[in-house]
Amino acid sequence: MPDDASLQEQTAAEELQDYLLKITSAKFTIIKESSTEISGPRLFVGRTQKARELNLLPDGDEAWRIKTCEGGVVLCGGAGRGTLYAVYHFLEDHLGVRWWNPQEEFVPHSQDLSVGPIDRCGRPAFARRAMNMNMTGYDPPIDGAAFVSRSRMNARGPGEGAIAPKYGCNESMLLSSRPWCAHSFDSYIPNREGLFKEHPEYFALRGGKRTKATYDLTAGGCGICSPRSSSS
């Protein structure tokens, strides 16, 4: 990895090391690129001099590049999560690793680790990507941040905390102002609190009574019914 590797590049190298150990039962050593101890095939992780010499560094924090070259494989990316994504794509697409959820994964076992010619690049199609694992029933001790990163997400759901800096920290899952990315219907309605008093017929009819929601993530507690009931 680079002599001045970022925290995310260090994490990428450690993730690669961990999974190569699981696959081959062999310990791969992480060393700085300038080390004189390098011999044999190498995996150049991060914005290394090798990546610069081959003009492989992509633009954009989350863009990534994988390319085989004389002496090894270059795994690099943008200054943010890019190198992490290069490593995850390499492990998943070329070595067969799968991350099903925070608790379960599939790792193939092979004593002969080899790949053919690779020349790939990419970047996420969407700027903000998140999942809400609070809805799944997983216990809090599960390292959801690692799974989020391995799934190439860059944000976590409400109440799940921040993504650790080593995985690139959080992008905001929500817009800077309302309406939200979801649960946003009542955010388009002016004077939400007064609307129930003025027009109860706009709200859901439950047990013969007009009611407004008692739980609403968008704040305001409005449970507007559409289409409007004909009775009031």
Choice between 37 and 209, residue whose per-residue pLDDT is larger: 209
Give, in degrees to the nearest 5, the angle at Cα 178 between 176 and 181: 80
CA-based R_g, the chain, Å:
24
- The string of pLDDT tens digits covering residues 113-171 is 889 999 999 999 998 888 777 666 555 556 678 898 999 998 877 667 778 889 987 76
| Class of the CATH-defined domain 1-173 | alpha beta
* CA 130 – CA 196 distance, rounded (Å): 33
User: What percent of the chain lies above the pLDDT cut of 90?
Assistant: 46
List the chain domain ranges: 1-173, 176-232
Choice between 184 and 66, residue whose per-residue pLDDT is larger: 66
- The string of pLDDT tens digits covering residues 35-52 is 877 777 899 999 999 999
Q: Please report the beta strands in 46-86, taking only residues with DSSP state E, as ranges in sequence order.
A: 64-69, 72-77
Structural tokens at position 23: 């696959």
Asked whether residue 218 carries a pLDDT value surpassing 50, the answer given is no
Strands 98-99 and 119-122, how do they pair?
A: unpaired
Residues 203-230, mean pLDDT to the nearest whole number: 64
Specify the amino acid at residue 21: L
User: What percent of the chain lies above the pLDDT cut of 70?
Assistant: 78
- The string of pLDDT tens digits covering residues 49-71 is 999 999 999 988 899 999 999 88
CB 17 within 8 A of CB 28: yes
pTM here is 0.77
